[in-house]
Amino acid sequence: MKGAEAEARAAQHLQALGRRVVAQNYRIRGGEIDLVTLDGPVLVFTEVRHRSSTRYGGAAASVTPQKLALMFRAAQSYLLREHGREDLPCRLEVLTIDGPADTGHITLIPVE
């Protein structure tokens, strides 16, 4: 349930930034996108990572190159399945929550 709480808070945060949530938990074999939002005309694919404690590193430390590769693959799949093309304006990002899911510190990290 903690993951769902973090994702709900992330969605609220992104909506407060003026974005519109268009999909949640988009899954393909071997990959998932937690949130897909529209930031103006740009689709944004967001991975939500939450760590209640920094005991094993913060939430950003839990994002591996393999996770980013799977995220990229899922985003490509989303573009093809939902829009029929891969060349739409889009970007990837990671939203981290460090501390309690409902009150922890939120950081948005662009994926280059």
| pLDDT tens column, 37-59 | 999 999 999 999 999 887 778 89
Total domains in the chain come to 1
Say which CATH number the domain at 37 has.
Answer: 3.40.1350.10
pTM of the model: 0.93
Token pair, residue 49, equals 């990572």
**Largest distance between two CA atoms of the chain:** 43
* C-alpha to C-alpha distance for 65 and 105, rounded to whole angstroms: 23
Domain that holds residue 107: 2-111
Nearest by Cα to 109 from 43, 57, 66, 45: 45
Q: For residue range 6-36, what is the model confidence (pLDDT) as tens digits?
A: 999 999 999 999 999 999 999 998 889 999 9
3 state DSSP class of 107: strand
Nearest by Cα to 49 from 11, 7, 13: 7
pLDDT category, 5, cuts 50, 70, 90?
very high
Sign of the dihedral through C-alpha 99, 100, 106, 112 = positive
pLDDT of residue 44: 98
* C-alpha to C-alpha distance for 65 and 91, rounded to whole angstroms: 16
Token pair, residue 31, equals 């990959």
**Residues 51, 59: contact at Cβ < 8 Å?**
yes
